[in-house]
Structure 1
């Protein structure tokens, strides 16, 4: 199945709700970061670190999607936050909050989890040139 030809992603009200959720996630995670007492330069320095996953696309769309989804799913940062809470480590909580904030930011812009059919095919619908064409 070619996802780009058959799957158009979420549309209408559900897409709007998901984008509002993403915006609220970004805001709440940024607020949570502020509660850790970590310096704001750390937020700025680490905010785009999950985007190193783009390098996976150098190995092809399938590997790229796996790498991107691994760093843009809430699973790892939530587990990291749990470790931070368990250890009482504010630094770890700060990193987890930045990570969640990044995911919220990306999803607010419409960048969802990727399909192996290509970078532009996401669970939120097509992005980039594919979004304009659809």
Structure 2
């Protein structure tokens, strides 16, 4: 458990994103149930946003854009708002299932995609940040991504043309 010197929990971005995902998932699912949404609709739509991964067949850039479009809270919020304004309960229910899906993804650690390769996500880039001893005795902030790759930020003497060094070190 990460704590500060005062004994309080250290609110790292990754932990905050997981808590945010849990809150969105629980709130959206509870609202769906409270509105009397049919369970079959929830089950059918629960993984529908993941169909956006098929965009990767057109390449990583297209795949990332399509995946990100349906894996933020913006689109379901707009759909839900439009459903409320127009008096279309089905749109509200679909938006709630969609929000629950995005929340569940954040809870279990899935993130928005970068156009480099499928699986290079914003969550990976927020993964555990640690101090690492550099060869010259200098401390360099590094990041160990979820996949185990160690990344050195741009500006260090070990960064490459793209601004980061991928050492490939794994634990």
1:22 to 2:21 alignment:
yes
Structure with larger RCO (C-alpha < 8 A, sep 6+):
1
Task: List 4+ stretches of structure 1 deviating above 6 A.
Answer: none
Is the aligned partner of 1:125 residue 2:140? no
TM-score by length of 1: 0.84
Q: What number of residue pairs does the alignment pair up? A: 121
Query: Counterparts of 1:87 and 1:59 in 2: how far apart (Å)?
Result: 35
Shift of residue 133 of structure 1? 2.2
**3-state secondary structure, aligned to 1:82:** helix
Deviations 1:110-130 (A, max 9, x none): 111110011111111169xx6
User: C-alpha displacement at 1:75, in angstroms?
Assistant: 1.3
**Structure 2 stretches lacking a partner, 5+ long:** 1-10, 128-144, 150-171
Kindly provide the CA deviation profile for residues 21-53 of structure 1, in whole angstroms up to 9, marking residues without a partner as x: 111111111011112212111100100000110
Give per-residue Cα distances to partners, 1:73-99, cap 9 Å, x unaligned: 111110001111102222111000000
Q: TM-score, normalised by structure 2?
A: 0.67
Unpaired stretches in structure 1, ≥5 consecutive residues: 1-11
Question: Could you tell me which residue of structure 1 aligns to residue 62 of structure 2?
Answer: 63
- The structure in which a higher percent of residues are helix is 1
